[in-house]
Amino acid sequence: MQLAIVLFDRVTALDAVGPYEILSRVPGIETVFVGERTGPVRTDTGALALTADKTFAEVERPDIVLVPGGPGQTPQMDNPVLLDWLRTADTTSTWTTSVCTGSLLLAAAGLLKGRKATSHWLALNFLTGFEVEATGERVVFDGRYVTAAGVSSGIDMGLALAGRIAGDRAAQSIQLLTEYDPQPPYDAGAPHKAPAELVAEFRANTRHPQH
């Protein structure tokens, strides 16, 4: 079973690495990072590069497609190479998935029309623009389409998907190995929990889907 994780310039690293760390440990899964070109791909902060080992052309029939987000997804929404690859890969994939604004790329490729999906909380209204029923849920399954909310939510999605693919025990084993027993020191990880003025500030500064 092949998992293809898409990389593009200015991707948000944790969008990709969170679910990678979970799903790559599912027995029988072979993981490949794929991009328009092979080699290092710079993430959104500029301080880190993740390596694409294969080009889109080299990964023809992945079983699982995972599309991360990040501020770099905006230009990709008009990239025919990426969108065509997503459409083709989706015709044979078992699971087509995204984290954060990666769902906007799936939507731009026409794959989420009429479906329920989620995205980063600041990007939900852009998803609606693609005739998607945007929910604020952290992980949304709609048939074989699985979307996760912002950045860190890809870990929760990875575990949920690992359970569907390999069973509860395999997923629990990976959760234990990665010691995923979260204890955030603050409770500000969602717009309905964070201080209202912080939420308002982010909303005021978001004119286009940034994350």
By the criterion CB under 8 A, which residues form the site for a copy of itself? 12-14, 17-18, 20-21, 24-25, 30-33, 40, 45, 47-51, 53, 100, 120-121, 138-139, 149-153, 155-156, 159-160, 163, 168-169, 171-173, 175-186, 188-191, 193-195, 198-199, 202, 211
What minimum distance in Å lies between the beta carbon of 135 and a copy of itself? 14
6, 14, 82, 100: the active-site residue:
100
What minimum distance in Å lies between the beta carbon of 125 and a copy of itself? 16
C-alpha R_g of the chain: 16
Q: Output 83 or 98, the one with its CB closest to a copy of itself.
A: 98
Q: Output 84 or 200, the one with its CB closest to a copy of itself.
A: 200
What minimum distance in Å lies between the beta carbon of 152 and a copy of itself? 4
* Sequence-ordered strand ranges (E) for the chain: 2-6, 30-35, 39-42, 49-52, 54-55, 64-67, 95-99, 116-117, 133-134, 139-142, 145-148
Q: Output 13 or 83, the one with its CB closest to a copy of itself.
A: 13
What minimum distance in Å lies between the beta carbon of 80 and a copy of itself? 27
d(CA 154, CA 139): 8
Phi, psi of 134 (to 5 degrees): -80, 120
d(CA 147, CA 53): 24
Q: Output 16 or 83, the one with its CB closest to a copy of itself.
A: 16
Q: Which residue has the tokens 């790329």?
A: 105
Catalytic residue list contains 100: yes
Distance (Å) of CA 103 to CA 17, 49, 167: 16, 22, 25
d(CA 86, CA 96): 9
Secondary structure string (H, E, C) spanning 32-81: EEEECCCEEEEECCCCCEEEECEEHHHCCCCCEEEECCCCCHHHHCCCHH
Q: Output 88 or 163, the one with its CB closest to a copy of itself.
A: 163
What minimum distance in Å lies between the beta carbon of 109 and a copy of itself? 23
Active site residues: 100
